[in-house]
Amino acid sequence: MSTFRRLNRWSGYMLLLVLTACTGAPNQVSVERVQGAISSHAMVSTAHPLATQVGVDILKRGGNAYDAAVAVQFALAVAYPRAGNIGGGGFLVFRTAEGEIGSLDFREKAPMNAFKDMYLNEDQQVVEGLSTNGHLASGVPGTVDGMVEIHSELGSLTFAELIQPAIDMAINGVVLTHREAEQLNELRDDFRAINNYETHVVRPSPWMPGDTLFQPELAQTLKRIQGSGRAGFYHSTTASLIVDEMQRGGGIITMEDLRDYRSVWREPVVGHYRSYRVISMGPPSSGGIALLQLLAGIAPHNIKQWGFNTSRTVHLMTELERRVYADRATYLGDPDFFDVPQDMLLDINYLNDRFGDINLNKATPSQKVKKGHVEIIESMETTHFSIIDSQGNAAAITTTLNGSYGNKVLVKGAGFFLNNEMDDFSIKPGFPNMFGLVGGVANAIAPGKRMLSSMTPTLVEKDGALLMVVGTPGGSTIITSVFQTILNVIDHGMTMQEAVNAKKFHHQWLPDEIDYEEEAFDQATMEKLMKMGHQLQLRESIGRMDAILRQDGQLEGAADYLRGDDTAIGY
Ligand code: DON
């Protein structure tokens, strides 16, 4: 029997199945299958073990998937403050046990004093760092309004119950993992430079794994939200603390911006891939439309036969991605401000035409699709979680501060970080954001507008029943990671855990290169790809999926324990 793959440190939840492929033949090859957490009732998969446990506890107490989602979001704001948040925003895609689908947009908005060229100097040049660090980088946060909305429309327990575990965690402290201690230490100088007071995230000696992070001010903020709902954040004390912070640091968010923030229920985008129905997030996320375009482009081809990450498969996926990301840059933005041609982008005739010039043996230089030059800064600071409850209700939430700890501004007296989501706008036509993404008028800054996102919380149905809940952080790589993970299960027959673990690659039109994780391709594949005209660029990590597969009466919760501290727990 071949060697077992490495068991993760949450070995209690991981099940290794060794299946003998066929019957009878003496020299049969054993096929080793790796599965995530298996359960028959309910499952929670998140970026942090404490947040996962909070979700499971809520479900066991009789809460539904949406109660658990609200509780997990607040728990992540405490246990995983680099991406979990109350100072940021995100998207929910849901499907109830009865098959009703919907999505909530609680994406941040540009403050009313924002304007198109606010990050440019007198010479119309981008002022470095202004849209990424410090007070001016923050959009008006949407998370708290989003959680209140989710609870009031879909929840069943009291809001106070859902937020209590986060409050307890903030008071009693969170034990830091190795990764968390390391991140806090790495950003120590930034925290110091950007905040003009002693924050609780900086201390005289470096953080060590096993140290406890106490967040008493965050606990007080959460208590205000617990007591007054959205008013506990968007009015009175918390709002005043945010506005005071803005005034101290030269930011522009006002009391009116906070008072007026509202999340929006939107139609999700829906399409079909082979015999599957795919439900994902529409604008102001580009994720759903781009994912459906990619799936439509792959559907005519038998990639199952071509094989996983073979040069033929990778080449086709890359050529599709190149064109889809060019569309993203041109046509996608906040639908409340820009007339996104959604029907056209998903029209099969348009797509046949768009993909019609793909040569299956030769790369198309991105310059021929459209011009530009960009660099990508690595970041893994969004977070996604997936939940299915015992009734079959499903929630997929991707939420973010954008960069690690957002704009690094810790609101004085309120204990939480603000986002740097303004960088997701196209701050100057053709100028790349921190993920190397470019854009133009569709995603230009305007007061009250939402910045374009790549977040792609997604549900997949088979024969009218829920099959998969997927999503990931990763900035521009979110869309291609979700794309690959779905193909890994549907076409390549992987378990959910294998699909999450599988090495990933990414192309985003500009820069014109295939980014790939180590061991994603063997040497021969790399040589073939280069011969076809592709540039290859090694990248540390792509994707960090937290997903659930519902099949044959059981749930498989797959959390990315290889790339993060992610944990899935079911019961
Ligand atoms: O909305 C977006 O597309 C980005 N703000 C997401 C940022 C992200 O995923 C960061 N890293 N994981």
What mean pLDDT value characterizes the chain?
A: 93
Tens of pLDDT, residue by residue over 381-428, are 799 999 999 999 999 999 999 999 999 999 999 999 999 999 999 999
Question: How would residue 377 be classed by pLDDT, with cut points 50, 70 and 90?
Answer: low
Nearest to 462 by CA among 566, 334, 550: 550
Tens of pLDDT, residue by residue over 48-88, are 999 999 999 999 999 999 999 999 999 999 999 999 999 99
Tens of pLDDT, residue by residue over 287-317, are 999 999 999 999 999 999 999 999 999 999 9
Other C-beta atoms closer than 10 Å to the C-beta of 392 total 17
Catalytically active residues are: 382
| Cα–Cα distance, 12 to 222 (Å, whole number) | 32
Percent of the chain clearing pLDDT 90 (strictly above): 91
Question: How would residue 29 be classed by pLDDT, with cut points 50, 70 and 90?
Answer: low
Average pLDDT over residues 34-43: 98
CB of 379 closer than 6 angstroms to any ligand 1 atom: yes
**Ligand 1 atom at minimum distance from 455 CA:** 3
Position 379 scores a pLDDT of: 61
pTM of the model: 0.94
> Within 13 Å and on the Cβ side, how many CA atoms surround 298?
31
Position 15 scores a pLDDT of: 38
Radius of gyration of the chain (CA): 23
Nearest to 479 by CA among 384, 387, 386, 568: 384
Tens of pLDDT, residue by residue over 110-133, are 999 999 999 999 999 999 999 999
Position 372 scores a pLDDT of: 35
Tens of pLDDT, residue by residue over 552-568, are 999 999 999 999 999 99
Asked whether 346 and 289 are in contact (CB, 8 A), the reply is yes
- The answer, yes or no, to whether residue 4 has pLDDT greater than 50, is no
- The answer, yes or no, to whether residue 24 has pLDDT greater than 70, is no
Position 530 scores a pLDDT of: 98
**Ligand 1 atom at minimum distance from 286 CA:** 3
| Cα–Cα distance, 430 to 434 (Å, whole number) | 13
| Cα–Cα distance, 97 to 90 (Å, whole number) | 23
Amino acid at 436: G
Asked whether 30 and 359 are in contact (CB, 8 A), the reply is no
Other C-beta atoms closer than 10 Å to the C-beta of 27 total 4
**Ligand 1 atom at minimum distance from 107 CA:** 1
**Ligand 1 atom at minimum distance from 380 CA:** 12
Inter-axis angle of helices 348-355 and 311-331, to 10 degrees?
Answer: 120
Average pLDDT over residues 188-197: 95
Distance 62 CA to ligand 1 centre (A): 32
Three-state secondary structure of 236-303:
HHHHHHHHHHHHHHCCCCCHHHHHHCCCEEECCEEEEECCEEEEECCCCECHHHHHHHHHHHHCCCCH
Using CA positions, which residue lies closest to atom 8 of ligand 1? Answer: 475
Strands of the 514-516 sheet, one edge to the other: 505-506, 514-516, 536-538
Question: How would residue 32 be classed by pLDDT, with cut points 50, 70 and 90?
Answer: confident
Distance 333 CA to ligand 1 centre (A): 15
CB of 424 closer than 6 angstroms to any ligand 1 atom: yes
Nearest to 388 by CA among 95, 98, 19, 42: 42
| Cα–Cα distance, 345 to 554 (Å, whole number) | 36
CB of 473 closer than 6 angstroms to any ligand 1 atom: yes
CB of 455 closer than 6 angstroms to any ligand 1 atom: yes
Q: Candidates 131, 377, 400: which one to mutate for ligand 1, based on the most atoms within 8 Å of Cβ?
A: 400
Nearest to 187 by CA among 451, 471, 514, 405: 405
- The answer, yes or no, to whether residue 460 has pLDDT greater than 90, is yes
Position 6 scores a pLDDT of: 31
CB of 105 closer than 6 angstroms to any ligand 1 atom: no
Q: Which residues contact 226 (CB under 8 A, 6 or more apart)?
A: 159, 160, 163, 164, 167, 232
Using CA positions, which residue lies closest to atom 9 of ligand 1? Answer: 475
463 versus 28: the higher-pLDDT residue is: 463
Q: Is the dihedral of CA 256, 409, 47, 536 positive or negative?
A: positive
Beta strands in 389-504 (DSSP E): 394-400, 458-462, 465-470
CB of 380 closer than 6 angstroms to any ligand 1 atom: yes
Position 30 scores a pLDDT of: 63
Question: How would residue 1 be classed by pLDDT, with cut points 50, 70 and 90?
Answer: very low
CB of 485 closer than 6 angstroms to any ligand 1 atom: no
